Amino acid sequence: MLRSNTVCFKISVLVTLFCSTFFMLGSEIVQAQSLALTIPSGTPVIIKLDQEVNSKTVTPGSVIKASVANDVKVNGKVVIKAGAVCDVSVLNSRKAGIVGSPGSVTISVNSVKSVDGTNIPLMNASKSDEGKSEVATAVVITILCCILGLLMKGKEGVIPAGTQITGYTVAQVDINI
């Protein structure tokens, strides 16, 4: 009697271990297959500036707040979510100067985060603005009125908040969703 209980116990332990191992491995294999997705090179991503960029207040290297404007989907699945964080920086900035010279600013969207947190580099995602030149007005005022006209400044370069910039993925990227 004792021997048959021990054999039954050992068999039930082995069956339990086998079944639990099978279920764990099987679910991981199925899960791994359903999560892998590739974002193709050249996939468009629309970025929206969350703040105004003004040549008077930014310097090269400044970080600009921006986010993804719309969900980016591959095969019907969201790979980059609307609102995702973007890495945007100021490439060039020149304040408006005396004698009516205009200010200018150029920004570049460098990368964006996918749904799994992968950093995805973007290309062709930049925007520039140059303020209005006031050189002619400054010269005319100086000639007609006084030398103080030379101190007149041009307009600043401004890229308004809400401006949309389209960038494209640099290379194929594998992510997990």
In the prediction, which pLDDT does 39 show?
A: 95
Looking at the DSSP bridge assignments, the partners of residue 130 are 104
In the prediction, which pLDDT does 99 show?
A: 65
Half-sphere exposure of 142 (CA within 13 A, CB side): 16
In this model, does residue 29 exceed pLDDT 80?
no
- Tell me what the mean pLDDT of segment 108-126 comes to: 94
In the prediction, which pLDDT does 79 show?
A: 96
- Measure Cα distances from 149 to 66, 111, 133, 142 in Å: 39, 44, 14, 4
Per residue in 46-57, pLDDT (tens digit) is 999 999 999 999
- Lowest mean pLDDT across 76-80, 83-87, 100-104, 111-115: 100-104
Nearest to 125 by CA among 159, 88, 84, 167: 167
Domain locations along the chain: 1-38, 40-176
In this model, does residue 92 exceed pLDDT 60?
yes
CATH of domain 40-176: 2.40.128
Q: What are phi and psi of 83, to 5 degrees?
A: 95, -5
In the prediction, which pLDDT does 148 show?
A: 57
In this model, does residue 34 exceed pLDDT 70?
no
* Confidence band for 102, pLDDT divided at 50, 70 and 90: confident
Instruction: Work out the percent of the chain whose per-residue pLDDT is above 90.
Output: 56
